[in-house]
Amino acid sequence: MKRSLLSLLAILALAAGLAAQSPAYNLKSPIASKPAFLSSAGQSADVEMVKVLLDRSKIPFKADAQAKAPALAASGAKTLVLAIGGSSKGLGAAGISAEAELERVKAVIAEAKRLGMKVIGLHVGGEARRGELSDKFILAALPACDYFIVVADGNKDGLFTKLCSERKIALDAVEKISKAGDPLAKAFK
Amino acid sequence: MKKVLASALAIVALALSPLAAQVPVNLHGRSADGANGVVAAAKPEASQVGVDILKKGGNAVDAAIATAFALGVLEPNASGVGGGGFMIIKLANMKEAVVVDFRECAPAASTPDMYKFDEKGKVIDNATFEGGLSVGVPGEVKGLLYAFDKFGSKKLSRAQVLQPAIDYAEKGYKVTVNLEQIIKDNFEKLKKFENGGAIYFDGGLPYELGATIKNPDYAKTLKAVAAKGADAIYKGEIAKAIVDEVRKRGGILSLEDLANYQVKERKPVVGTYRGYTIMSVPPASSGGTHLVELLNIMENFDLAKTGEGTPATGHLWAEAMKLVFADRSKYMADTDFVQVPLKGLASKAYAKELAALIAADKSMPSATAGDPSKYESGSTTHLSVMDKAGNMVAITKSINYFFGSGVVVPGWGIIMNDHMDDFVPKPGSANSVEPGKRPLSSMSPTLVLDPKGRSFMTLGSPGATRIFPTVAQVISNIVDHGMSVQEAILAPRYFQMASGKLNVEGRVPINTYNALGPLGHELALKLDWDAYFGGVHAVLYDYDAKMLRGGADPRRDGQAAAY
């Protein structure tokens, strides 16, 4: 009986340890250099949330949701962070069409690659930030990413898993937006 | 030993559960039955507040007012002290129902041309629905307390009906899937008007599922209302704080506007549907009148025969809605300012004429050259209360868009409405802005008497222009198709303006969906459970079982409570 109790206590301790331990990410070592440049892919409000995540992670960055390609070189940033998610409201407020936004995003990514910048993509909008409009931007931006963080609810259909595994891009899924800051911080040297 | 193992495994599961936590949107268990009283509202906690008031000896009005104040805390995106609404009350001893109109009105300094347009014809800076210029004079506290003082049981104090709301504001409430998404969707607005972000963000990010939100400033506001009544909001320190913040954000609200705000008691719009008496709200809501008009048109068709969920029935609803919305855009406005042919719109003879325009085999392209302009956002809330005495109350209230204008009064936690957006923002319309005028609404809190004249049902919904068509469909589901109140609420819905696409909820039968196209309808398929179609909360008296039955809507966080 004593032995059984001891074993049970050991199981409990292990479980508690597992629960308390910081999560193991698929990105095993930092890939990105500071400072970062944050832009949007789709003009959703998610870019504002990623700003907060970068602030909390103490990663120096400049942000321009509607940045044009030349802004990257001028910023001196070493890493491009993209907050991906389409919003018709956001596009309307920015006064641009989805097609024009796609072209802008592609040009920004191309410039980042030309400058040798790492690209980190985030999709923090969850299931609600999926659908035809958002998926256009995901499909356009994700293949260029060196690392991707998704709030798990947005990956219910496995789209991010599929795209990242096909391209061997490290993907980490987090339960909540507030949990995305930790892997984001760990991606930076 | 087995017991020890089981306990240990349970503890392990508990320890690991946060890693796998999932809160499904529960479609079951939304209804509640009780012999004494039932409250159905957009939050389970709010419905329970109402039931607790009934248990303390309050009547249906007391319960409704307590529930309404609690909703202002628990569903802050939809209604609150900074908003307004409509209420319909019929106590068992009243011959006629009364409508309490506490809809916002335009500030005295408003003018028909107060909004400016850019070269594309868009209102500059979204001023009709964001910031101070979108704020109408709020009516909620005056309206709720007017009803409490005049129609409440007098057995409970004002402080007693406000206390549950104060407790939730102080101690907090859990964020649901629904609320989490609403906060995320309105992140920019809440951030722009930083006082809102200070309440609904956790260190700069939206509060997420399971987190606890507290609003001690709003608790302070409600305590002041408990102590001083409506004057706490409409005069003095809080009034000054409201006016200062609204004006700081570009508004024109004045202390005089607040002090002069008047609740209006009105006679309900009354119609019948297959022997049931329908009582709802008159202008400044278009909802009641058009609810009666829509049901009058539908009465010309044997829906029991055409069947629930069939193409024929869906087609009839769509065509009837086109006709009603054509009238709405042409005639409806605040009757204190504009002549509206209310009797004609609600007459059976007129409905018969309209029904004759409907062809069974062909959709009309448009009922008029009409103006299918929007009047309201979907961020509204509805609650229904009925007790065993047959007292019935229905309240629909709102701050208009989710989180209203975005203007939040610092130190008091009040989110100000943006109901000025419900006016036509240019001169020349029956619904153009005028000082003191109430903007057109679709809110339709509704009471139903059975063919014997007994209290039968109280219901209503948020959902902007979808409100009265949704209420009409729920009534028909019960009267024509014999559904229970909960089945009637769950059934898929249709919505059609005077022209444009027929919106159908995702669960509409596939055969119906396929058959509607060839009749000439251009279809817009919405989600399976789409909040676009509102959130109906209803209570019905089942005389055979001597039981009150409450139904609530899973499209929002609806839940009925009973005892």
d(CA B73, CA B82): 12
Residue appearing with tokens 């200070």:
B198
In-domain check, residue A16 = no
In-domain check, residue B64 = yes
* Of B390, B392, B383, B420, nearest in space to B404 by CA: B420
Q: Mean pLDDT of residues grouped by 10 in chain B (563 residues)?
A: 45 36 60 97 97 97 98 97 98 96 98 94 93 98 98 97 98 93 90 94 92 97 98 98 98 98 96 98 92 98 96 97 90 79 92 95 70 49 96 97 96 98 92 94 96 97 94 98 97 95 95 96 92 95 97 94 97
pLDDT of A187: 96
Which helix H or strand E contains B158, and what residues bound it? helix B158-171
Chain B residue whose CA is closest to A13: B12
Instruction: Find chain B residues with C-beta within 8 A of A50's C-beta.
Output: none
Contact B203/A at CB under 8 A: yes
The Cα of B8 is separated from the nearest Cα of chain A by a number of Å equal to 7
Helix, strand, coil percentages for chain B (3-state, nearest 5)? 40, 20, 40
Query: How does DSSP assign B188-230, residue by residue?
Result: HHHHHSHHHHHHHEETTEE--TT-EE--HHHHHHHHHHHHHTT
What radius of gyration do chain B's Cα atoms show? 23
Chain B residue whose CA is closest to A10: B8
Give catalytic status of residue B335 as yes or no. no
In-domain check, residue B3 = no
* Of A29, A178, A36, nearest in space to A121 by CA: A36
| Average pLDDT over every residue of A123-139 | 90
Structural domain count, chain A: 1
Exposure b/e, B24-49, CB count within 10 A at least 16 = b: eeeeeebbbbbeebbbbbbbbbbbbb
Clarify whether residues B259 and B403 are in a common domain.
yes
Q: Which residues 17-76 of B have a C-beta within 8 angstroms of A?
A: 18-19, 21
Tell me, what amino acid is at B553? D
CB B415 within 8 A of CB B404: yes
Give the other-Cβ count within 10 Å of A55's Cβ: 14
CATH code where residue A68 lies:
3.40.50.2000
Which helix H or strand E contains B510, and what residues bound it? helix B510-516
Tell me, what amino acid is at B14? L
Peptide bond into A65 cis (omega under 30): no
pLDDT of B338: 79
Residues 6+ apart with CB under 8 A from B103: B84, B85, B86, B139, B284, B285, B419, B438, B439, B441, B443
Clarify whether residues B462 and B535 are in a common domain.
yes
Chain B residue whose CA is closest to A1: B1
User: Burial, B394: exposed, middle or buried (Cβ in 10 Å; 0-12, 13-18, 19+)?
Assistant: buried
The Cα of A52 is separated from the nearest Cα of chain B by a number of Å equal to 6
Query: Across the strands, what pairs with B202?
Result: B205
Res. A21: pLDDT tops 80: no
Clarify whether residues B387 and B353 are in a common domain.
no
Pick from B1, B5, B205: CB nearest A49? B205
Give the other-Cβ count within 10 Å of A105's Cβ: 24
Say whether B205 and A178 touch across the interface (CB within 8 A). Answer: yes
Pick from B12, B203, B208: CB nearest A11? B12
Question: Tokens at residue B465, please?
Answer: 């222009």
In-domain check, residue A1 = no
* The three-state (H, E, C) secondary structure of B166-179, written as one string: HHHHHHCEECCHHH
Pick from B11, B191, B204: CB nearest A12? B11
Peptide bond into B439 cis (omega under 30): no
In-domain check, residue B208 = yes
In-domain check, residue A19 = no
Question: Tokens at residue B147, please?
Answer: 């009803």
Q: For B298, left (φ over 0), alpha (ψ -120 to 50), or beta?
A: alpha
Clarify whether residues B452 and B516 are in a common domain.
yes
Instruction: Find chain B residues with C-beta within 8 A of A56's C-beta.
Output: 203-204
Clarify whether residues B393 and B324 are in a common domain.
no
ipTM passes above 0.85: no
d(CA B309, CA B555): 19
* More confident site: B445 or A4: B445
- Name the E strands within B346-486: 380-387, 392-398, 408-409, 414-415, 446-449, 455-459
Exposure b/e, B259-288, CB count within 10 A at least 16 = b: eebebbebebbbbbbeebbbbbbbbbbbbb
The Cα of A12 is separated from the nearest Cα of chain B by a number of Å equal to 6
Pick from B8, B19, B181: CB nearest A19? B19
Clarify whether residues B152 and B107 are in a common domain.
yes
Clarify whether residues B118 and B57 are in a common domain.
yes
CB B385 within 8 A of CB B171: no
Question: Tokens at residue A68, please?
Answer: 């044009």
Q: How many residues does chain B have?
A: 563
Mean pLDDT, chain A, integer: 89
Say whether A45 and B184 touch across the interface (CB within 8 A). Answer: yes
* The three-state (H, E, C) secondary structure of B231-266, written as one string: HHHHCHHHHHHHHHHHHHCCCCCCHHHHHHCCCEEE
Q: Are strands A147-151 and A170-174 parallel, antiparallel or unpaired?
A: parallel
Say whether B4 and A4 touch across the interface (CB within 8 A). Answer: yes
Res. A120: pLDDT tops 80: yes
Which helix H or strand E contains B471, and what residues bound it? helix B467-479
CA angle at B510 for the pair B368 and A155, rounded to the nearest 5°: 100
Say whether A177 and B208 touch across the interface (CB within 8 A). Answer: yes
CB A73 within 8 A of CB A34: no
Say whether A8 and B5 touch across the interface (CB within 8 A). Answer: yes
CATH code where residue B305 lies:
1.10.246.130
Chain A residue whose CA is closest to B208: A176
Instruction: Find chain B residues with C-beta within 8 A of A178's C-beta.
Output: 202-203, 205, 208
Clarify whether residues B201 and B109 are in a common domain.
yes
Clarify whether residues B109 and B147 are in a common domain.
yes
CB B127 within 8 A of CB B133: yes
Q: Which of B67, B176, B313, B380 is catalytic?
A: B380
Name the DSSP letter for residue B360: T
Say whether B8 and A55 touch across the interface (CB within 8 A). Answer: no
CA B539 to mean position of chain CA atoms: 15
Chain B residue whose CA is closest to A181: B205
Clarify whether residues B220 and B300 are in a common domain.
no
pLDDT of B1: 46
Say whether A178 and B202 touch across the interface (CB within 8 A). Answer: yes
Query: Across the strands, what pairs with B539?
Result: B458, B550
Residues 6+ apart with CB under 8 A from B250: B127, B131, B132, B133
The Cα of B124 is separated from the nearest Cα of chain A by a number of Å equal to 11
Contact B12/A at CB under 8 A: yes
pLDDT of A3: 59
Clarify whether residues B276 and B403 are in a common domain.
no
Q: How many residues does chain A have?
A: 189
Instruction: Find chain A residues with C-beta within 8 A of B2's C-beta.
Output: none
Pairs across A and B, CB distance < 8 A: 62
Chain A residues with CB within 8 Å of chain B CB: 1, 4-5, 8, 11-12, 15-16, 18-19, 45, 48-49, 52-53, 55-56, 90, 125-126, 128, 175-178
Intra-chain end-to-end CA distance of chain B, in Å:
42
Contact B528/A at CB under 8 A: no
Instruction: Find chain A residues with C-beta within 8 A of B19's C-beta.
Output: 19, 175
Residues 6+ apart with CB under 8 A from B24: none
In-domain check, residue A17 = no
In-domain check, residue B338 = yes
In-domain check, residue B211 = yes
Name the DSSP letter for residue B120: T
The Cα of A22 is separated from the nearest Cα of chain B by a number of Å equal to 12
The domain of A136 spans 28-186
Instruction: Find chain A residues with C-beta within 8 A of B185's C-beta.
Output: 45, 128
pLDDT of B2: 46
Question: Tokens at residue B146, please?
Answer: 């007017």
Structural domain count, chain B: 2
Say whether A128 and B1 touch across the interface (CB within 8 A). Answer: no
In-domain check, residue A179 = yes
The domain of B393 spans 40-89+100-265+382-422
What radius of gyration do chain A's Cα atoms show? 19
Clarify whether residues B202 and B79 are in a common domain.
yes
Name the DSSP letter for residue B153: -
The Cα of A109 is separated from the nearest Cα of chain B by a number of Å equal to 25
d(CA B467, CA B445): 9
In-domain check, residue B9 = no
* Of B185, B405, B182, nearest in space to A45 by CA: B185
